[in-house]
Each structure stands twice: as structure tokens, then as C-alpha cells.
Amino acid sequence: MKQQMTKISLLLLFGALTSEGAPPSPSAAAGAKYEHKMENSNFRLGTGERVEVQGVSERFVGDSGSFMVDTVTGATLAVRNPSQSGRLPRPLTQDPTEHSGIVQDYLLKAGVPANEVSGTHVTTTMGGGGPRSSGVEPSKSTLLWYTTHLERSLQGIPVEGSFAYAALDSAGEVITEGVYWPAIPANVVSNAEALKQKLDSPTERDAFLANVVKARPDAKEATGEVKIVHTSAGHHGDFEARAVYSAVVRSPNRGKAQLVRFDDTGALVVLADERPSGNNTLKR
């Protein structure tokens, strides 16, 4: 399993739309669907448990936190309430590798398909220190917790958009966790394998990349890879999954880099939740 580590200062949340749509069909799936239910989770709601329903969102709420379920996509997000004592959580361990091993074991036992987990990566949540006038001083920052994210792949091809992550505190209890692991149709996986095979042939690769440059001239210097992508956890329209050639195109004027995707002909791919809509706004 590969291991990576990056630093972040923001917690991950998934957005929600207000319109309802069709969930993905489980038929002819090569990638298994997993929904993280309350009964599979170690997250503690605390006392005063109750259920709140708002639109397509179902929330299990207690004085310690809430466990939210998107009843359309099956995505879940659990978040602990701030401590009444004002004390922030402390990390399970100072070793990110150890944290990842424990979290992976927990999520696999909960039901995430082990044969689809190709690796993990870790993000960190830090508590900053130093005077406000000069900003955060790294030397005075402390580790609050790690969050371990499982990475998904099918037949060796990365799946972009699926997630399963958790952060554990010094008592081994869940600080936050989230899962969105939809079924992936078999034909999407076979299309991705075929595209990967095409790119292994120098002649076919050259022809394919020529079409990519026609579609996006600024992608000439970009290096990409074959991936499986699908609509996001907050998308309530029809589920969509595609086999794509994914590349990061950098702005010539040092502007923001852009992720672009192409199908097996070299034509641009835009998923349903990425298209402008007058009725729905995806919150990221």
C-alpha cells in the first residue's frame, strides 16, 4: 500500500443539492457499492439521540455529534460537536503510518471492499500558535489529529470521486468520518482498461494525444493518466461514471491549474455535476 502525507487546515465536508434524482444502478457492477450505516460505524452520538429529516438528508443527532446520510447518493458524514470543555481532540498517535493502519482496519471491517483499496494518504489538522499580528508560527503549532483516506482503484485503475476516511482521537474514538463508495458499472472498467491499453501502444498514443491537443491546445505539455471518474457525493441527478484520460493543464500566466478529462477519442469530458445549471448549485 502506498503512503503519502500532506498538510491541511480545513475539515472535509460534502455538499448537498436540493433536487432529487436517481441513484446508481447496481446491475452489472464491477465496483461494489458500500454504504456506511450507523450500525457499521464506531462514531458516538452521545446522549439525547434523535433523528432529523430535511429534504434528502437524514441526520442522527446526539449531544456529542451528528451522523448525516444523503438518502439519494448514500454518502455519509459524521462530525463531532466541539467539546463543551473547550479542549480540542488529541491525536491517536504521532505516527501517521500507525494511524492509517488502524483506520484502514476499521473501515474494512465496517464493509469497505478490501480488494478495491489500493492505498492510503494522510492529511493533518494543526493547531496554530503565535501572535495574530504576525500569523501562525510553525514552531508553535501542534498536531491535533490525522485523517486517513482510503484510495480506490479497479483493475489497477484509480477511481476519482470515491472516498472513505476517518480521524481518530487519543482514546481511539472517531472525530470525523465520511464515505461515498458508489457502484461502478463493468463496462466503465472495461473501457478504462481498453483506453489504458491504447496508450501503451506508441502509435495509438501519438494519435490519441494529437486529438487531445486539438480539443485543448494548452494540454500539449500536460502529462495525464487513465482514471475512472464519477459524479460527486452531493449530486442528486442521474449517476454518471466514465473512463477518462485525466490531465492537469497549467496556466501559461501562472494562473490556477485546471483538471481536464478526455474520452477514448480525445474529446473533452464534463460530468453532469460539473455542467452549469440554472436550478442546482453544487456546494463543494
- Are 135 and 210 in the same domain? no
- Are 148 and 195 in the same domain? no
| Calpha distance 180→168 (Å, rounded) | 19
- Are 111 and 222 in the same domain? no
Task: Encode burial over 266-281: b for 16+ CB neighbours within 10 A, e otherwise.
Answer: beebebebbeeeeebe
- Are 210 and 147 in the same domain? no
Predicted local distance difference test score (pLDDT) of residue 127: 82
* Within-domain flag for 42: yes
Report strand pairing: 224-230 vs 157-160.
parallel
Predicted local distance difference test score (pLDDT) of residue 28: 62
* Within-domain flag for 279: no
Predicted local distance difference test score (pLDDT) of residue 258: 87
* Within-domain flag for 104: yes
- Are 198 and 177 in the same domain? no
- Are 101 and 225 in the same domain? no
* Within-domain flag for 282: no
pLDDT tens column, 18-56: 333 444 444 467 899 999 999 999 999 999 999 999 999
- Are 92 and 215 in the same domain? no
- Are 153 and 229 in the same domain? no
| Average pLDDT along the chain, 284 residues, taken 10 residues at a time | 39 36 52 95 94 95 96 96 74 96 98 97 83 60 93 97 97 96 97 96 96 93 94 95 94 78 96 74 37
* Within-domain flag for 79: yes
* Within-domain flag for 280: no
Predicted local distance difference test score (pLDDT) of residue 138: 62
Question: Which of the listed residues 134, 151, 185 is the one where a domain comes to its end?
Answer: 185
Range of the domain at 160: 2-185
- Are 114 and 84 in the same domain? yes
- Are 264 and 170 in the same domain? no
Number of compact structural domains in the chain: 2
At a CB cut-off of 8 Å and minimum separation 6, what does 179 contact?
A: 34, 35, 36, 75, 76, 107, 112, 163, 164, 165
H or E segment to which residue 48 belongs: none
Question: Which of the listed residues 185, 201, 227 is the one where a domain comes to its end?
Answer: 185
Q: Are 6 and 123 in contact (CB under 8 A)?
A: yes
- Are 23 and 138 in the same domain? yes
* Within-domain flag for 36: yes
226-to-125, 171, 246, 261, 277 alpha-carbon distances in Å? 31, 40, 6, 9, 28
End-to-end CA distance of the chain: 29
Predicted local distance difference test score (pLDDT) of residue 250: 83
**What are the cell numbers at 39?**
450500525
- Are 132 and 30 in the same domain? yes
